[in-house]
Amino acid sequence: MPLDMIIGAQWGDEGKGRVTDMLAAQTDIVARYSGGDNAGHTVTVQGDIFKLHLIPSGIIHPNTTCLIGNGVVLNPAVLLREMAMLTDRGIDVGSARLKISRNTHLITPAHIALDKAKEARRGNDAIGTTLRGIGPAYTDKTSRIGLRAELFANPEELADQIQAHIAEKNEVLTKIYDAEPLDADAVAAEYAQFAQQLREHLVYGSVFLDAALKDGRSVLAEGAQGTFLDLDHGTYPFVTSSAPTSGGVLVGLGVGPRMVGRVIGIAKAFTSRVGSGPFPSELDGELAHRLRGTGDKPWDEYGTTTGRPRRVGWLDLVMLRHAVRINGLTELVLTKLDILSGLDEIRVCNAYQLDGETIDFYPSDIPSLSRCQAVYETHPGWQEDVMGVRELANLPQAAQDYIHFVAKEGGVPVTAVSVGPGRAQVVHL
Ligand code: GDP
Ligand code: IMO
Ligand code: MG
């Protein structure tokens, strides 16, 4: 069986969680391959809302097995809280269902303290990180001084490494950032507890997936973040510290490219972004309020992880084409079409104006991107509520035309459109 992928095609929060949940019904294994608890994935099942940060969204279907892959940075405290939340809600998160790759890197309180100190030091140039310690944990990984989950199986080594890790970070925190030092003994004791609780979940992730694939089982890779938060291909430096793109799946799970089947991009029918950085099709004023919502509906545009209001704008097809190319998307799922209902007209960015020239690709450097002006095409809107629609033919003609336009100009087939957060609120094309 192949490895299929769910990839964010914008700046995150495209609705990857709900699409993962939808496909998990026919999937044996769902695996997270990058990011950490900076992610916030929302799944709505008959009005029940699950917000997941680390555990793959496949966990809600009783017959899937979930893996936290080696490309993830794992905060064990957050994982245990999430496991407790799911257990309370009757979902089994035992070691038969939830696996952790042994070479997944761990986030510690020192990484979180450093994330906060670094963001504070950046002042007006802050990235607007989620302050979950993501950047510092990946920095340790690439510096080859990170702590890996396999230490849970070796308590003495874990204690030694935590002591050395906190001692080193305390120097940086106190001498460079003038911040409070951490208590190494307390952190070591806390991590010894985590080790006891999580040890039995450890697996050799790549070996586990290889055996499953050879055995004819299906694997779905659940992306976190999105293409434009990718360390290489996003709006650097206003990005996260990992590779949410399809290349990151192979590295982050230890699976080769020949196993890959569908590469499913997820994009909202408009665009949103949390955190700083350029956003050529950004809106403000009345229209932005209209797309964002006021926060009274669970799907309004406020961060799942941080609660921050998201910046919003029109759909950007220049970005979408970049995502199709970088990820090799085989198809696209368009989410939140219902939010566009009631607008008189809908605009779509299909090119940029840069220093007097029209360009149709995404420049990689921030100075150029910041000077890009969106060039729009205007489409008629529709007034009907589409949340109850399940067939393409029952969508208003203007909505059908919008979907076909996105597919044609994006250069990727649209295979499904969601019209509400619920499991059933999907139109398959
Ligand atoms: P993810 O990070 O990509 O999984 O996306 P989030 O869960 O952070 O954000 C997507 C938000 O939109 C969540 O609140 C979802 O419940 C909601 N959502 C997803 N699809 C739809 C849709 O088609 N319509 C509406 N109204 N809400 C949706
Ligand atoms: P999901 O999986 C939206 C953004 C942060 C910030 C930048 C760097 O829910 O789509 P970090 O804490 O990763 O160092 O922050 O990345 N960011 C996200 N934005 N959705 C996410 O995840 C995000 N994860 C990180 O807001 O701009
Ligand atoms: Mg999210």
DSSP symbols for 11-25 = SS-SSHHHHHHHHHT
What domains can be seen in the chain, in order of their start residue? 3-95+204-428 (3.90.170.10), 105-201 (1.10.300.10)
**In angstroms, what is the span from residue 284 Cα to ligand 1's centroid?**
21
Ligand 1 atom showing the smallest separation from residue 43 Cα: 16
Q: Probe ligand 2: pick from 33, 53, 130, 241, max atoms within 8 Å of CB?
A: 130
Q: Probe ligand 1: pick from 5, 6, 7, 18, max atoms within 8 Å of CB?
A: 18
Ligand nearest to the CA of 41: 1
Closest CA to 28 of 209, 240, 264: 209
Q: Is 355 a catalytic site residue?
A: no
Ligand 1: does its nearest atom lie under 6 Å from the Cβ of 17? Answer: yes
φ/ψ of residue 40, rounded to 5:
-140, 110
- Give me the half-sphere count of Cα atoms (radius 13 Å) on the Cβ side of residue 162: 27
Nearest-CA residue for atom 16 of ligand 1 = 421
> Do residues 67 and 56 lie in contact, with contact meaning Cβ atoms separated by under 8 Å?
yes
Instruction: Say which residues have a Cβ less than 8 Å from residue 129's Cβ, sequence separation at least 6.
Output: 38, 115, 119, 135, 240, 275
**In angstroms, what is the span from residue 19 Cα to ligand 1's centroid?**
9
Q: How many residues does the chain have?
A: 429
> Do residues 291 and 283 lie in contact, with contact meaning Cβ atoms separated by under 8 Å?
yes
φ/ψ of residue 57, rounded to 5:
-65, -15
Ligand 2: does its nearest atom lie under 6 Å from the Cβ of 82? Answer: no
Ligand 2 atom showing the smallest separation from residue 14 Cα: 10
Q: Which of 41, 111, 322, 379 is catalytic?
A: 41
User: What pLDDT is attached to residue 275?
Assistant: 86
User: What pLDDT is attached to residue 304?
Assistant: 73
Give residue-wise pLDDT tens across range 384-422: 999 999 999 999 999 999 999 999 999 999 999 999 999
Q: Which two tokens stand for residue 234?
A: 């996003």
3-state secondary structure string across 72-138: EEECHHHHHHHHHHHHHCCCCCCCCCEEEECCCEECCHHHHHHHHHHHHHHHHHCCCCCCCCHHHHH
> Do residues 279 and 273 lie in contact, with contact meaning Cβ atoms separated by under 8 Å?
yes
The pairing of beta strand 426-428 with beta strand 414-418: antiparallel
**Dist CA 379 CA 315 (whole Å):** 12
User: What pLDDT is attached to residue 1?
Assistant: 77
**In angstroms, what is the span from residue 126 Cα to ligand 1's centroid?**
26
Q: Which helix (H) or strand (E) holds 208?
A: helix 205-214
Q: Is 13 a catalytic site residue?
A: yes
User: What pLDDT is attached to residue 386?
Assistant: 98
Ligand 1: does its nearest atom lie under 6 Å from the Cβ of 335? Answer: yes
User: What pLDDT is attached to residue 91?
Assistant: 98
User: What pLDDT is attached to residue 52?
Assistant: 98
**82-90 contacts, C-beta under 8 A, 24 or more apart:** 82/52, 82/53, 82/54, 82/55, 83/55, 86/50, 86/55, 86/59, 89/48, 89/50
Ligand nearest to the CA of 225: 2
Which segments of the chain have a pLDDT < 70?
none
Q: Which of 13, 115, 140, 316 is catalytic?
A: 13
C-alpha R_g of the chain: 21
**Dist CA 132 CA 14 (whole Å):** 20
**In angstroms, what is the span from residue 122 Cα to ligand 3's centroid?**
24
Nearest-CA residue for atom 25 of ligand 2 = 38
Ligand 2 atom showing the smallest separation from residue 242 Cα: 13
Give residue-wise pLDDT tens across range 275-308: 899 999 999 999 999 999 988 999 999 987 778 8
**Dist CA 344 CA 322 (whole Å):** 29
C-beta neighbour count of 310 within 10 angstroms = 22
